[in-house]
Amino acid sequence: MFTRPELLAKYNKRVPRYTSYPTALMFNTDFGNDDFERAARDSINEQLSLYVHIPFCKRHCYYCGCNRIVTRHQDKADQYLDALEVEMATRAPVFSDRDVTHIHLGGGTPNFLSSTQFTRLTSLFHKFFNVSDTLDYSVELDPGNLTKEELADLKRQGVTRISMGVQDTNIVVQEAINRVQSTEHVGELVHYAHGIGICSVNLDLIYGLPFQNLTRFKQTIADVIAMSPDRISLFNYAHLPERFAGQRKIKPQWLPSAAEKLSLISAAVKAFEEAGFCLIGLDHFAKPNDTLAKASVNGCLHRNFQGYTTEYGIDLLGMGASSISAIGSTFSQNAKALPDYYALVDESGAAVERGVKLSNDDRLRQYVIMQLMCNLKVCKQQTNALFDIEFDEYFKEALEQLASFVDDGVVTITPDSIRVLPEARLLIRNICYVFDAYGNSDASGPRYSNAL
């Protein structure tokens, strides 16, 4: 792991996470439903992945930057499912010749849904879409509001993968972020999920939370290793109180410094690798037999709005408030605010509010950035062949900006490739940033998080 804090200080500026390129902040309202339908008809991809956003949560976690609504009123989900049914009925016809191979539920908290509501949602997928017999069905879960009986019910309904947000197991940290949950309970859920045949369990951790220190975080790491998940996601906390009101409850002086955060992630990488996990991309870990680890070894890793994935050549249809679709060479996003989402669905059956059609330059830069994010390298000759360019000439300005990274010993450039040293992966977002044509548009503002 990276051990040169002076370089982190040098490059520690606000940059995108690059779960897409262009990023969602570059979407515009000129893109509408007609553009979406055209992209769906023109796409050459034969398979389809569905993402559904469930915005409701039963508790307010202060660190969270997701689009969510905190409520205890279960009936709100019924109204939401009514709207989702209309949206699915509108969207499904243009995808009638596609097999749905992946479904992912995010939030919010998908297990806010009652068993009856979850059953209804699953049945809607089968009602409107051609769901594959080999479906990969994944769900994000809040373990603090989850029982073994509910896990068994998810398995019966076809769920194959789950992801649970642990964040930190220390009670002081948990209280500071308003997410108190039993470590023992989470461990029991992981063990039970494996026992009933859930094929993959991911646990989310966050470093940089209030009152985290090396001693406390090492215990969190040990707790998670003892739970033996298949995957671990280790995210950098992005403190953006200008954008997320809940984060205003977290005082800046409670947060660890950049140097302290470096010690936290370094300890995590060391411990997880010693426990047999493979480091994947920027912030994921997986056991060697996991499909994500195999994809990384084989150079087949990809990245989308859910993070690192094995999915490729598959259109992504997002439904629900704020969800994002990636269809052909387009991105689009539904209305974020629930009243706006309902109004658009009532009006037209769909809820696209903004989006973007990628230009040839966008697709080229997307390819380069995703190669770096996934593989820490990009092959110039392969890029030339795919996009009919001369890499060094096309990216002359970007290569000049990379000179600083080369001088600092974190990037190597040869006639055929650009490579990022594995120990410099914490700077990968900054390195990708030199290839971002939109990069100078107010990146210093509160829209993006620091690299560390």
Binding site feature residues for [4Fe-4S] cluster: 57, 61, 64
The answer to whether the beta carbons of residues 102 and 51 sit under 8 Å apart is no
Name the residue range of residue 370's domain: 1-13+359-439
Of 317, 341, 369, which closes a domain? 317
Angstrom distance (rounded) from CA 361 to CA 378: 16
Q: Say yes or no: 207 and 278 in one domain.
A: yes
Q: Say yes or no: 176 and 112 in one domain.
A: yes
Binding site feature residues: 51, 57, 61, 63-65, 107-109, 140, 167, 179, 204, 238, 324
Average pLDDT (305-322) is 91
Q: Say yes or no: 175 and 300 in one domain.
A: yes
Does 383 fall in a domain?
yes
pTM: 0.94
Q: Say yes or no: 304 and 410 in one domain.
A: no
Q: What is the pLDDT of residues 336-345, one digit of tens each?
A: 999 999 999 9
Q: Say yes or no: 271 and 391 in one domain.
A: no
Q: Say yes or no: 156 and 220 in one domain.
A: yes
CATH (domain of 286):
3.80.30.20
The answer to whether the beta carbons of residues 326 and 317 sit under 8 Å apart is no
Does 448 fall in a domain?
no
Does 197 fall in a domain?
yes
Does 452 fall in a domain?
no
Query: Which residues pair with residue 379 across a beta bridge?
Result: 417
Binding site feature residues for S-adenosyl-L-methionine: 51, 63-65, 107-109, 140, 167, 179, 204, 238, 324
Of 263, 291, 317, which closes a domain? 317
Of 317, 341, 370, which closes a domain? 317
Q: Where are the beta strands (DSSP E) in 373-414?
A: 377-379, 411-413
Identity of the residue numbered 63: Y
Identify the three-state secondary structure at position 9.
Answer: helix
Q: Say yes or no: 27 and 5 in one domain.
A: no
Q: How confident is the model at residue 144 (pLDDT cuts 50, 70, 90)?
A: very high
CATH (domain of 433):
1.10.10.920
Q: What is the pLDDT of residues 59-112, one digit of tens each?
A: 999 999 888 999 999 999 999 999 999 999 999 999 999 999 999 999 999 999
Identity of the residue numbered 193: A
Residue 4, pLDDT > 80, answer no
Average pLDDT (228-237) is 97
> How many domains does one find in the chain?
2
Angstrom distance (rounded) from CA 111 to CA 124: 17
Q: Say yes or no: 420 and 274 in one domain.
A: no
Does 323 fall in a domain?
no
Can you give the pLDDT at residue 444? 45
Place of tokens 């966008």: 362
Percentage of residues in the chain having pLDDT higher than 70: 97
Q: Say yes or no: 130 and 253 in one domain.
A: yes
Identify the three-state secondary structure at position 134.
Answer: strand
Q: Say yes or no: 261 and 387 in one domain.
A: no
